[in-house]
């Protein structure tokens, strides 16, 4: 695992997923906040929370994660944050749109066990050049 500890925002409406990944990242010493919707995420970021990493699910109750990411980039909200799509959506349209929004990675949750997903996020973070 990475020696560096990150501030992470996980944006997902699934309580089980949130709790599981919060526990995994916190166990490794990272500071984690959560948001269960795009509106909640925007509010946290506008209120001053500045994560180094934001994991965004595509399926959210109020706006999809790609629309959220577009708004964050367009409005220059938290511009230093590294964004990673963290989803089970795997269509070419979604992956291409994510790439056009300059995500650091597009990770399919179902393809990795939780410890592998955490390791992948940290690997991406270590190699990310903003």
What is the reported pLDDT for 39?
97
Residue 66 and residue 58 in contact, taking contact as beta carbons nearer than 8 Å: yes
| CATH fit for domain 7-120, picks 3.40.50.2300, 3.30.1490.20, 1.10.340.70, 3.40.190.80 | 3.40.50.2300
pLDDT at residue 4 tops 50: yes
CA nearest 12: which of 61, 46, 49, 45? 61
Where along the chain do its domains lie? 7-120
Q: What is the DSSP letter of 111?
A: G
Check residue 129 and give its pLDDT.
67
Residue 80 pLDDT grade (very low, low, confident, very high; cuts 50, 70, 90): very high
In this prediction, residues 37-42 reach a mean pLDDT of 97
Residue 94 has pLDDT above 70, yes or no: yes
Q: Is the pLDDT of residue 52 over 90?
A: yes
């Amino acid at each position: 695992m990475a020696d560096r500890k990150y501030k992470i925002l996980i944006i997902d409406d699934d309580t089980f997923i949130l709790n599981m990944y919060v526990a995994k990242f916190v166990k490794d010493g990272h500071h984690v906040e959560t948001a269960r919707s795009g509106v909640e995420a925007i509010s946290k970021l506008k209120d001053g929370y500045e994560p180094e990493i934001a994991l965004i699910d595509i399926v959210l109750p109020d706006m999809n994660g790609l629309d959220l990411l577009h708004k964050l980039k367009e409005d220059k909200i938290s511009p230093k944050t590294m964004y990673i799509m963290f989803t089970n959506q795997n269509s070419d349209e979604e992956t291409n749109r994510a790439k056009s929004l300059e995500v650091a990675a597009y990770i399919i949750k179902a393809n990795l066990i939780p410890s592998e997903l955490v390791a992948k996020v940290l690997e991406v973070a270590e190699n990310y050049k903003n």
